[in-house]
């Protein structure tokens, strides 16, 4: 039940629009500025398209395209003009927005970052992609975890990016922190079509969460992105899906109240609860142990596959990147938690100061 794509919005509903954005070519600051204006225009289109829409979601790489260019001249910052423009667009159109930026990192490679901005211009969620799509992507691995934020109409939102969704631990982490709607933005191209679909469905079902996922769309003359915005119900079924039509906004109404009902009321297949309460019919409260070897080994720093020594691709040299010499420095506190209060008053774009 999607409320006819959100046209018939219920009192408990959250209407989301997934933008199958035309894949751009961005090589210069001028092209970056032009693509920023294009995204801002589409925020306005989303509002005009559907008055009931609460949140409009743009794909990964919607600002920078798929070139993997790390030139400092086109990297973004949280207090830069691109983010300021996105914040203003949300204010001007009274709508929440989810955006993608390639973010400058003075200590290494840029981050592939995502933002959720509310209708007052406040940044509600800031995320750095945890699992860049190696060996193709050069981005620094995210180091601030998987945040969850309060969303429109009492919902709980999380954002994961592209390849993140291929690792079941990512959606599980988001749900474990309370996310009822897991947004997944991507730049994937056609060879990933089948895996895209089944992981969106599995991430929803295994965690009793809605998934709302969208890729870039169309061709930049080199790559062909596939669009395919899709919403999955918490039982794993596909509710609404788009195709390959450029700039189409695929819409759906989601009901977080039904997620909450399932998570508390389901017995059979309440998997995220049963993970830590296995066999509770036989033993009181279920077995609350730590039986998974790979998790134990990750925690102890001894993770090793039986075939690890035979893995052939272990850096980005096959895709033209130099082998890295730096070691990972480890997780950091989330940089925005102490700096952006829940209801930060909106300011003019040239006054924004949210640099971590």
Percent of the chain with pLDDT over 90: 90
Instruction: Indicate the number of domains in the chain.
Output: 1
Residue 261 is among the residues annotated as catalytic for this protein? no
Considering the domain boundaries, does residue 160 fall inside one? yes
Summarised one tens digit per residue, pLDDT across range 8-40 is 999 999 999 999 999 999 999 999 999 999 999
Range of the domain at 10: 3-278+313-351
- Above 50 in pLDDT, residue 78? yes
Answer positive or negative: Cα dihedral of 142, 148, 149, 152.
Answer: positive
Structure tokens at 215: 């890729």
Residue 349 predicted with pLDDT over 60 = no
As a whole number, mean pLDDT of residues 61-79 equals 97
**Beta strands 210-215; 230-232: pairing state:** antiparallel
| pLDDT number for residue 3 | 77
In this predicted structure, what is the pLDDT of residue 337? 63
pLDDT(321) > 50: yes
Higher-confidence residue of 4 and 212: namely 212
Catalytic residue among 9, 60, 103, 140: 60
pLDDT for position 348: 45
pLDDT at residue 287, rounded to an integer: 98
Digit-coded pLDDT (tens) for 153-208: 999 999 999 999 999 999 999 999 999 999 999 999 989 999 999 999 999 999 99
More confident position, 342 or 314: 314
**Strand (E) or helix (H) holding 55:** strand 55-57
Q: Cα-flanking dihedrals φ and ψ of residue 263, to 5°?
A: -65, -30
Neighbours of 83 (CB within 10 A): 25
| Residues 93-114, mean pLDDT to the nearest whole number | 97
Residue 301 lies in a domain: no
Q: What does the pLDDT read at residue 344?
A: 40
From the candidates 76, 90, 149, 162, which is the catalytic residue? 162
The CATH number of residue 81's host domain is 3.60.110.10
In a domain, 12, yes or no: yes
pLDDT at 210 over 90: yes
pLDDT confidence bin for 51, thresholds 50/70/90: very high
Which listed residue (76, 82, 103, 129) is catalytic? 129
- pLDDT value for 340: 46
Percent of the chain's residues with pLDDT above 70: 94
DSSP label of 300 = H
* CA dihedral (111, 112, 116, 117) positive or negative: positive
Q: Which of 113, 124, 114 has the alpha carbon at shortest distance from 54?
A: 124
Domain for residue 289, yes or no?
no
- CB count within 10 Å of CB 8 equals 13
Q: Contact 90/118 with Cβ under 8 angstroms?
A: yes
What residues does 114 pair with on adjacent strands? 100, 127
In a domain, 89, yes or no: yes
Active site residue 162: yes
Is residue 299, in this structure, part of any structural domain at all? no
Task: Quickly count: other Cβ atoms within 10 Å of residue 313's Cβ.
Answer: 10
Bond before 135 cis per omega within 30 degrees: yes
Domain assignment present for residue 326? The answer is yes
Res. 1 pLDDT band, cuts 50 70 90: low
| 60 carries an active-site annotation | yes
H or E element: which one contains 150? strand 148-150
Of 9, 15, 3, 4, the C-alpha closest to 181 is 15
**If you average pLDDT over every residue of the chain, what do you get?**
93
Does residue 302 sit within a domain?
no
């Amino acid at each position: 039940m999607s409320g006819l794509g959100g046209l018939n919005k219920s009192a408990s509903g959250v209407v989301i629009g997934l933008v199958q954005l035309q894949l751009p070519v961005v090589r210069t600051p001028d092209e970056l500025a032009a693509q920023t204006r294009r995204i801002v225009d589409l925020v306005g289109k989303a509002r005009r398209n559907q008055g009931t829409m609460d949140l409009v979601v743009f794909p990964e790489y919607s600002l920078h395209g798929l070139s993997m260019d790390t030139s400092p001249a086109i990297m973004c910052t949280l207090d830069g003009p691109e983010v300021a423009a996105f914040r203003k667009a949300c204010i001007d159109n009274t709508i929440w927005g989810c955006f993608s930026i390639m973010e400058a990192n003075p200590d290494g490679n840029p981050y592939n970052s995502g933002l959720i901005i509310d209708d007052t211009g406040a940044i509600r969620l800031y995320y750095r992609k945890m699992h860049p799509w190696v060996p193709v992507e050069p981005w620094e691995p995210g180091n601030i975890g998987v945040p969850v934020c309060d969303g429109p109409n009492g919902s709980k939102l999380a954002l994961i990016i592209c390849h993140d969704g291929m690792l079941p631990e990512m959606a599980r982490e988001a749900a474990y922190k309370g996310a009822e709607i897991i947004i997944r933005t991507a730049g994937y191209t056609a060879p990933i079509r089948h895996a895209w679909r089944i992981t969106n469905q599995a991430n929803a079902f295994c965690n009793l969460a809605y998934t709302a996922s969208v890729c870039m769309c169309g061709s930049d003359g080199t790559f062909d992105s596939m669009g395919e915005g899709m919403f999955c119900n918490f039982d794993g079924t596909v509710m609404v899906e788009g195709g390959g039509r450029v700039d189409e906004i695929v819409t759906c109404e989601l009901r977080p109240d039904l997620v909450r009902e399932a998570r508390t009321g389901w017995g059979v297949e309440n998997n995220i609860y049963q993970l830590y309460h296995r066999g509770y019919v036989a033993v009181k409260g279920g077995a609350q142990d730590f039986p998974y070897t790979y998790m134990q080994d990750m925690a102890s720093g001894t993770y090793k596959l039986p075939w690890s020594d035979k893995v052939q691709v272990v850096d980005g040299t096959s895709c033209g990147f130099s082998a890295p010499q730096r070691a990972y420095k480890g997780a950091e506190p989330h940089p925005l938690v102490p700096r952006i209060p829940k209801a930060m008053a909106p300011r003019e774009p040239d006054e924004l100061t949210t640099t971590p």
